[in-house]
Amino acid sequence: SERPMVAAVRDAAVSEDGVVSAPVSGGRWGTSAETVVLPSCGSSGLMFKPVRTMWCTSHNAPVVVIAQPMCYGPAHFLAECLPRLLMALSAARREGALVHVTQANPMVSAAMDAVGLRPDRLVSGCVRAPRMLVPDGTFCGNPPASALLPMRRWAWSLSGACKDPARQDLLQAASRLLPEQDGVSASAAPDASWSADAEGACPAGLLSLGAAAAALGPAGAVSAWGSGRDAVQQAATCVLAHPQAVGLVAPAPGPIRVLFVRRSGSRRVENEGELLEALSQLEDVGQVTAFSPAGLQRDLEAFAAADVVLAPHGAGLANIVGCPPWAHVVELLARPVNIMYGSMCARLGLKWHALTPAVASHSGVIKAEVGLVVDRVREASKAIRDLAKRFASFSSSQRAVCAA
């Protein structure tokens, strides 16, 4: 929950997984083990894998280190490594720095373009440089709000982040209203003063991970990777997510836009056609869009334009970082369960609905329980429409105060 930090290290070397080593003050490389080590946030905790400088490529330019294990794929790169680059972006531009990544693939190159850095500045593997900038690490499957919130602000600032001018204005208003840094606090158990609303959920602005965990079944069914294990162990936790913004930024009254995230491999929704047909019949829903990845900027545009996101568990959900603050996310979980996106929703202030269909294999297919999914989307649509109506009822003076 603290402000992100960027460490500057002289005469440093970095391993392919992002572990940074340097001699102690006044020391030299190769003089026993007198080195300082900045660990990398690995998939199972901090990694202290030593750097063997004899295999390193030397560069004269400064290097920004964002490499971490798993950051060669879209979900981990977008949620965990790209936010680290944003922490050091101004310094990277000012110093003409190279960027050390897990893998310099086309997706990572496109991200460099999007942030205004040349893809030819990417380096990977073991690297040594006279100066390294090392932003705070982000744990696998559990990036902190201090990384996600600036990432969201950047996503909303992209040119054409939303092709609807009115919605773009709302996203810009949200950028002014929502805190720059982590405004999330948590308690091990709901406080007595947090009285539940009429539907028995946490009050506005609160997400009950406990209720979600209870719906997932016994703890033995939850995998130890991502944030699933921790969420189940803290089953009574409610996460406070920016109450000062709740009700202050809302969509204009109108039909709800639903974005369905497709998968073609594992966790493909085998009854997708039936599900999309049922959703199109919902009274409050004006548009149902079937989404497939089309590149970083276009993907974030699609999520910025959505009110409700419906998706099987998978990498595409990392794009919820671009969702508007009133959005609801309905996730079809597979077994073994991983609720990393529930954790991200909590930190972004989005409402997360977790469903675990009877047929749902992590490496196989998912068969959506259409009636239940439709009910959740209907519930989410009603909540968004009610929020829009409350906001529309504000006087002009109240809105002026909100926007100030």
Q: Span 204-233, mean pLDDT?
A: 34
| Band (148; pLDDT cuts 50, 70, 90) | confident
The number of angstroms, rounded, from the C-alpha of 100 to the middle of its chain's C-alpha atoms is 21
What's residue 316's pLDDT? 94
* Residue 386 near residue 253 (C-beta atoms within 8 A): no
Q: What is the mean pLDDT of the chain?
A: 75
* Per-residue exposure over 103-140, b if at least 16 CB sit within 10 Å of its own CB, e if not: ebeebbbebbebbebeeebbbbbbbbbeebbbbbbbbb
How far apart, in whole angstroms, are the C-alpha atoms of residue 393 and residue 390?
5
- Rounded to 10 deg, the angle between the 396-403 and 165-177 helix axes is 60
67 vs 247 pLDDT, higher one: 67
CA angle 87, 136, 92 (to 5 degrees): 35
Alpha helices in 40-138 (DSSP H): 74-76, 82-87, 89-95, 106-115
Closest CA to 201 of 212, 193, 186, 217: 212
Q: How many alpha carbons lie under 13 Å from residue 341 in its C-beta half-sphere?
A: 29
- Reported as a single tens digit per residue, the pLDDT across 306-315 is 999 999 999 9
- Reported as a single tens digit per residue, the pLDDT across 341-361 is 998 998 888 899 999 899 998
Secondary structure E strands in 51-158: 57-58, 63-65, 98-100, 122-123, 127-135
Token couple for 36: 């300082």
* Residue 152 near residue 79 (C-beta atoms within 8 A): no
Residue position matching structure tokens 């703890």: 219
Amino acid, res. 133: L
* Residue 337 near residue 225 (C-beta atoms within 8 A): no
How far apart, in whole angstroms, are the C-alpha atoms of residue 350 and residue 367?
25
Token couple for 124: 């990977």
Q: Span 378-382, mean pLDDT?
A: 93
How far apart, in whole angstroms, are the C-alpha atoms of residue 94 and residue 87?
13
- Reported as a single tens digit per residue, the pLDDT across 241-292 is 333 334 446 676 778 999 999 998 899 999 999 999 999 999 888 889 999 9
Q: Span 129-142, mean pLDDT?
A: 87
What's residue 222's pLDDT? 33
pLDDT reading at 44 higher than 80: no
46 - beta bridge partners?
A: 41
DSSP letter string, 372-403: HHHHHHHHHHHHHHHHHHHHHTS-HHHHHHHH
CA dist 186 to 126, 230, 346, Å? 39, 13, 10
pLDDT reading at 117 higher than 90: yes
- Reported as a single tens digit per residue, the pLDDT across 170-213 is 777 666 656 554 333 222 222 333 233 323 333 332 233 333 33
pLDDT reading at 338 higher than 80: yes
